[in-house]
Every structure is written in C-alpha cells, then in structure tokens.
Amino acid sequence: MIRGRLKVGLCALALALVTMPLATVAQIDLSRMVDTARKTTDLGDKDQEEEQELGEQMAATLLGAAPLSTRDAEQAYVARVGHWVARHSSRPDLEWRFAVLDDDTINAFAAPAGHVFITRGLLLQLNSEAELAGVLAHEIAHVTRKHHLDAIKKAAGMEVAGGVLGMVRGRRGESRTERMVGDRVVGATRELYSRGLDRADEYEADRWAVAYMARAGYDPYAFAAVLQWLDSVATDDSQVALLFTTHPAPADRLERVAEQLTGPYAGLSGKVLDERFIRALGGDLQVDAGHGESLDPE
Amino acid sequence: MIRSLLGFILGLAIAGVVLAGASALTVTDTDLKEQPDDASLTLAELVEGTAVELGPRQGAWYEANSGSESGWLRMLNVRLSSGQQRPGDAGVRSLLQVGRTDATVTTGVRGLTVEDLKHASENRAALQSMAAMQPAPEDIDAFAADGELSPGRVDDPEPPARGRRSSR
C-alpha cells in the first residue's frame, strides 16, 4: 500500500522531471508531491469516514427533536423490513439503522451513512408491509444517492472533500475556531430538515424507491398507493404540515411514479403482506392494552 | 388467551375491509372490469368524474363499486376523496389506538414541527439505542423467508423524461 503510494509519487516526480525545464526542478517540493499522491488514494476512505461522522451527527440532531418509540415489536419489525430492502439497494454494505420515532405527525427522514426514520404517525396510516417497504425505500434512496450529504456540505460551504470531517470533529474539541465551524454543521442540519431537500432529489428518491422495493420482492404499486392516499390528505392538516412543506405535492410525485410503473416497470409485481403488517404492529397492542403479557411463546 | 383475542381483533379488521368503502372519483374515462385484468370482461365504461366506492387493492387494481356494478378499476385512474378512509383500510389505526393511554388523540397532535427541528440538540444516547435495536443478518434472512419475499431483477430507474422541469 505504502509502496504503491510511493510509486505513484515517484512516477509523478519522474514525469515532472522529464517535462519541466531544469530551472524549475529545484523548486519542486518533494514531500508535497508525495502528500498529494497519498491524498488521492485515501480519498475513498476519507469520504466514507466523513459520511459516517456527518450521518451520526445529523441523526443525533433529529433524535434531539423527536424521541424513539419504546414499542419493541414495532421497532424490530420496521428494522427488519428496512434491512431487507437496504440489502437490495445500491449500497447494501452500509451500516443501516432503522427506527420508529414516537411522533404523531406523518413523516419519514434519512441521514447519511444509512440512518432511516419513520414516525409512528405515518406507520399507523399504512396498510401493509409493502407500503412500509416503499416509504423506507424512499429514505434508503436518499442515503444511497447521498442527497443529504451533498446538501449539507453545500449548505455549510464545505464542498471540498475531506473538509467536513475536521469540522465535525472540531465540535468535540480542540480550538474555538474549529468548534465554531462545527456548529455550522449542526445549524445546517436543523435548516436542512426544516426546509427539505431539492425537489429533484425527492423525485429521484421516488424512482429508486420503486426499484429497491421491487428488487426486494414487494409489490411496487404499494408505494403508488401511499402517494395516492397522501394526495387525499387535506393540506391544512397539521399532521402533514412539515411533510408537505418539505416535499413536492403528492399528486406530482404520483404522476411520475405512475409513468414509471406503467412504462419501463410495467408488469412488476410482488408481495403485499398486509396480514403480517397488522400482526407485527398488533404485538405491541398487547403491551399497550396493559395485558402485561407477550404472545404465547410456543 | 391473548392469541384468541388477537385473532378476534384481526377477524374484525378483515370484516372491516369488506364493510368499509373509500370514496373516489375517476380522473379519466376508465373501464370497470370483472377481474383485475385488462383482458377480462368489461362490466361498465365509466366516464371521468364518476363516483365510486373502493375496496382493497390488488396490484394495479382496486376493487370498486360504481353504484350499479361491482368490479375492478385501474388504481391510477382514480383520485381518493379528501379525508376519507383509505381503500382496503386494514383498520390498524383504530385497532392500535384502542390501547393508547396518552390523551393526545383527542387533545391534538404531538408533533414534530419546524420549531422543534430548529432548536434540536444532539441526542447521542438515543443514537446508541437505535444502533442496539438493529436485527442480526440471520434474523433478516428468516424474516424474508417467512414472508416468502423473493428478490427479483429490476433495471435501474431511467432518468426523468426529457422536457420535464426539475423545478425547485
């Protein structure tokens, strides 16, 4: 590895020596050239580390605004569906994490590096596991397409690769200046979740959602059914206020998904699993109703 | 005991599917089919704006009643009426809210607002809890097998149609 880097550096040096007039050779800073070569090869790792740090910070900030649901069966079920769909995404190897937020509004969120959230308010409006898979697939697509990652870098004015990492880390420590730039990331996170992504990103996430859920074996029309239902929710309903201000109109999203389902994806089908959905969420019903027992083990 | 109670509740939910209809309007001229299949018998030719009651969905189709006939309609050819029950509503909401003890259902929405987000500070403890809740890989395999979910080959989605504005 190190040898490889050195080779790159030496090749670059050799090339420079051949192509440069003698007078400038003396001015070449050798260490700098090796540094540049190293930076290029490390970029992949650094990008991943940066995405992880940023994703954790964004997810933690979101969790500062809404608590996790304490219903275990619900959490376990949503996580299983999410992981199964994520396996069929373009980035199956991320450390995917799924959770239900104990919140009555209708919404779902993603943060870089594989963090996905759905509110309990939305979960209880769904009719089947396939619909849940569709909602989660949309968020998974935001992660795989790096929508939030790119948006946050842009918002915080840190488009240079590797620049964000130092700033996020700076928050935990060192100098006052570093902490200040770190705070900019937190500020940008709050702003991004309040304002939402670019509309084109939302449409793109819808397109990939249909692909991912269908690859995972779910009926892709279930996602269209969710959008169709959202289209019928009154726009002044406070439960959907944040969702509606941060996303394109459901009718516009449905129109595009419909084109996809009747065009290139015509004929796709899959499982709906409505009964498993009710059974899974019903597992928490026992606890909620104060029976204090879980289902017969058997 | 618990299982039979759950069975009873599920039974009620399934009965609810049959009883509850969601109203909708056709958004284009569309055929009411005998089966959820274009090749099946056409029972009625519904014009745009026809009021229908919808039942459960099956793939690209809703079970539908136009008042005089019952059959199947292409789901993308209808628009749900505002504030109605969802077609094929499994009744999860009413079932699960039975057991809720908090008063927010009647007093208002306990909801995440823009203000909450603007003042949020990091909760690293919750992030750790979230990490601890994730299933093991073999658990996911078993879950998929139980649902008979079989992965399929699906092409990457195509970029948006030409001429489509990607408006902000």
Best residue in A77, A95, A96, A104 to probe B by mutation, most B CBs within 10 Å?
A104
Residue A237, pLDDT score: 84
Predicted confidence at residue A17, as pLDDT, reads 41
The shortest CB-CB distance from A216 to any of B127, B151, B161 is to B151
Per the structure block, which two tokens stand in for A76?
Answer: 């376990």
Kindly tell me if the per-residue pLDDT of A182 is higher than 80: no
pLDDT of residue A218: 98
pLDDT digits (tens, 9 = 90+) for A236-266: 888 898 999 999 999 999 999 999 999 999 9
Rounded distance between C-alpha atoms, residue B114 and residue B129, angstroms: 24
- Decide if A288 and B100 are in contact by the 8 Å CB cutoff: yes
Q: Is B103 on the interface with A (CB under 8 A)?
A: no
A85 has a pLDDT exceeding 50: yes
Task: Show the 3-state SS of A62-108.
Answer: HHHHCCECCCHHHHHHHHHHHHHHHHCCCCCCCCCEEEEECCCCCCE
Contact B126 A229 (CB under 8 A): no
More confident residue, A283 or B70: B70
Residue B99's SS3 state is: coil
Mean pLDDT to the nearest integer, B88-105: 51
Task: Say what the pLDDT of residue A13 is.
Answer: 43
Compare all CA atoms of chain B with the CA of A198 and give the residue at the minimum distance.
B168
Take residue A294 and report the two structure tokens written for it: 């879980």
Q: Kindly tell me if the per-residue pLDDT of B14 is higher than 50.
A: no
For the cut 80, the answer to whether the pLDDT of residue B114 exceeds it is yes
Q: Determine the pLDDT at residue A94.
A: 97
Average pLDDT (A106-121) is 96
- Distance to chain B for A136, nearest Cα, Å: 15
pLDDT at A49 over 50: yes
Q: Do residues A281 and A77 make contact, with C-beta atoms less than 8 angstroms apart? A: yes
- Does B126 contact A68 at a Cβ distance shorter than 8 Å? yes
Q: What ipTM did this prediction achieve?
A: 0.81
Q: With the CA atoms of A53, A245, B85 and A225 taken in that order, what torsion angle do they form, in degrees rounded to the nearest 10?
A: -60
| Range list of β-strands (E), chain A | 97-101, 108-111, 115-119
Q: Do B149 and A217 touch (CB under 8 A)?
A: yes
Give pTM, 2 decimals. 0.80
* Distance between CA atoms of residues A75 and A78, nearest Å: 5
pLDDT tens for each residue of A197-238:
999 999 999 999 999 999 999 999 999 999 999 999 988 888
Contacts of residue A161, Cβ cutoff 8 Å, sequence gap at least 6 = A43, A46, A47, A50
- The Cα A115–Cα B129 span in angstroms is 13
If pLDDT is split at 50, 70 and 90, which confidence band does B88 have?
confident
Cβ distance A121 to B111 less than 8 Å, yes or no, reads yes
